[in-house]
Amino acid sequence: MGYVSKARAEQIMSERGWLPLLPEAFRTEVLRRSILLHFAPGETVFRLDDPAGGVYGLVAGTVSASLAPAGVTPRLILLGVPGHWTGEGCFLTRKPRRGELRAVVETTMLHLPLDAMDQMASRDPAVVQHVALMLMMTVELLFRVIHDLQKPEADRRVASVLQRTTWIGETPIPLTQSEVGVMANASRKQVNASIKRFSEAGWLSNTYRSITITNPGALRRFAEGDGVD
């Protein structure tokens, strides 16, 4: 992934995810106040229990989100989707970070600092509603994760995880088989068997270090119980 300029980042974020759903004046101010940040593979955006901070929008690249209830070590739950913003909990609750966000590959993000959000909210009470929309978009993603994890068959859970990774774009999946297993609540053996099955069906191509989805529609249908058993 090449360098992404602030102007290009603003264009991307104006067309995808949270910001296009909001009034133009608010969208313009968010982009004007946001800071362009670049993260190397493996670099942490924020950690569990970090002090309260602002929100981050994924422009390009991939981030992993690890979450858990209070008192439990966070586990990998999902990959960020370009255009999606996160970190809103601190603005709404004034509590420390409840999870971890980490760059998986070279990644570009926009960061709207907490003090900027407070200044905006002090002038316009609707800002709280706009941030609440960000929260509900995150909740919708977590509803999907819960739905997928409730599938009793391991291969359908694996298919669900692989299909969800296509939301990041048409790129090789930046996950190890062990990480797929964590996200799918499946053993390494179950993940291996599922990937072999899906490869033989022509739904993905698999090399030693890379998985590329070639038929996300077939994976989705199988994941929902409509595929061939």
Q: What is the pLDDT of residues 175-206, one digit of tens each?
A: 889 999 999 999 999 999 999 999 999 999 98
CA–CA separation, 91 and 149 (whole Å): 29
Q: Is the dihedral of CA 88, 82, 137, 213 positive or negative?
A: negative
Task: Give me the pLDDT at residue 148, please.
Answer: 95
With a cut of 70, which residues of the chain have pLDDT below it?
1-2, 208, 226-229
Q: What angle do CA 121, 112, 124 make, to 5 degrees?
A: 15
Task: Give me the pLDDT at residue 80, please.
Answer: 92
What single letter denotes the amino acid at residue 158? V
CA–CA separation, 212 and 214 (whole Å): 6
What single letter denotes the amino acid at residue 224? E
Task: Give me the pLDDT at residue 170, please.
Answer: 75
From the CB of residue 221, how many other CB atoms can be counted at a distance below 10 Å? Answer: 16
3-state helix, strand, coil in the chain (%, to 5): 45, 20, 35
Phi, psi of 142, deg, nearest 5? -70, -30
